């Protein structure tokens, strides 16, 4: 069965390469006002990284070899609550790169997972951008679909600059605004509704 193969409720939809934007009703501290890039979604569940949570920890302190090629801000990003002690690289290739470099695995388009054990000199010239995440976000089979159906997440198209956004703290509002209509109005929803 292919993604988007129908509108029936029993037909699964795969959202690899899409963004999950937390609804204002989602108050889990890991995901409140989060924008998650879905890296894998299939019958086994889903995996993604939170794009708008830069940490205070500099890449230089953890992975010094990679510090010079990560996009600003040069910090680790909190990718999610799963495996927070491990690092996950997500990189975009230089447009027109003929073949995938060693250590890079395509997820969608020119975006892929980067093996951070790969020698930097092997692939640095092929990368247009890189973010490194501590941990990731994961969902068991059917869990993400249920959360979307409950209204916890909005599934929207990713834009090329979302992964490497220079102002990640502004990404939630920016992504909602570009959707137009009701979702654009939610971009102005106050963080504390009592302050409205």
Mean pLDDT (whole number) for 35-50: 97
Whether 152 is covered by a domain: the verdict is yes
Is-contact 21 176, C-beta < 8 A?
A: yes
- For residue 188, what pLDDT is reported? 87
- For residue 9, what pLDDT is reported? 43
Whether 125 is covered by a domain: the verdict is yes
CATH no. for residue 106? Answer: 3.40.1740.10
- Cis-peptide, bond into residue 153, ω within 30° of zero: no
Q: What is the domain count for the chain?
A: 1
Run of H or E including 54: strand 54-58
- Considering only CA atoms, which of 84, 79, 83 is closest in space to residue 35? 79
Whether 147 is covered by a domain: the verdict is yes
Whether 190 is covered by a domain: the verdict is no
Mean pLDDT (whole number) for 190-194: 60
Q: DSSP states of 94-163 as a string? A: PTT-SSPPTTEEEEETTEEEE-TTS-HHHHGGGEEEEEEEEEEEEE-TTHHHHHHHTTSEEEEE--TTST
Whether 110 is covered by a domain: the verdict is yes
Report the distance separating Cα 131 and Cα 137, nearest Å. 15
Whether 6 is covered by a domain: the verdict is no
- For residue 191, what pLDDT is reported? 66
Domain with 64, as residue range(s), is 18-184
Beta bridge partner(s), residue 132: 89
Q: What is the pTM of this model?
A: 0.89
Q: How confident is the model at residue 190 (pLDDT cuts 50, 70, 90)?
A: confident
- For residue 4, what pLDDT is reported? 40
- For residue 10, what pLDDT is reported? 43
3-state helix vs strand vs coil in the chain, percent to 5: 20, 35, 45
Whether 129 is covered by a domain: the verdict is yes
Whether 10 is covered by a domain: the verdict is no
Give the model confidence (pLDDT) of 139-156 as tens digits. 999 999 999 999 999 999
């Amino acid at each position: 069965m292919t993604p988007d193969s129908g509108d029936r409720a029993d037909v699964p939809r795969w959202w690899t390469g899409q963004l999950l934007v937390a609804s204002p009703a989602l108050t889990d501290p890991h995901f409140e006002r989060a924008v998650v890039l879905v890296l894998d979604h299939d019958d086994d569940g889903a995996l993604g990284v939170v794009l708008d949570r830069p940490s205070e920890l500099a890449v230089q302190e953890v992975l010094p070899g990679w510090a010079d090629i990560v996009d600003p801000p040069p910090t680790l990003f909190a990718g999610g609550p799963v495996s927070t002690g491990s690092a996950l690289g997500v990189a975009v290739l230089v447009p027109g790169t003929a073949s995938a470099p060693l250590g890079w695995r395509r997820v969608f388009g020119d975006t892929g997972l980067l093996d951070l054990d790969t020698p930097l000199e092997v692939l640095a010239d092929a990368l247009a951008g890189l973010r490194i995440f501590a941990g990731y976000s994961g969902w068991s089979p059917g869990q993400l679909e249920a959360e979307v159906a409950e209204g916890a997440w909005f599934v929207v198209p990713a834009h090329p600059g979302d992964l490497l956004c220079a102002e990640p703290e502004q990404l939630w509002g920016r992504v909602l605004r570009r959707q137009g209509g009701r979702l654009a109005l939610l971009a102005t929803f106050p963080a504390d509704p009592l302050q409205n």
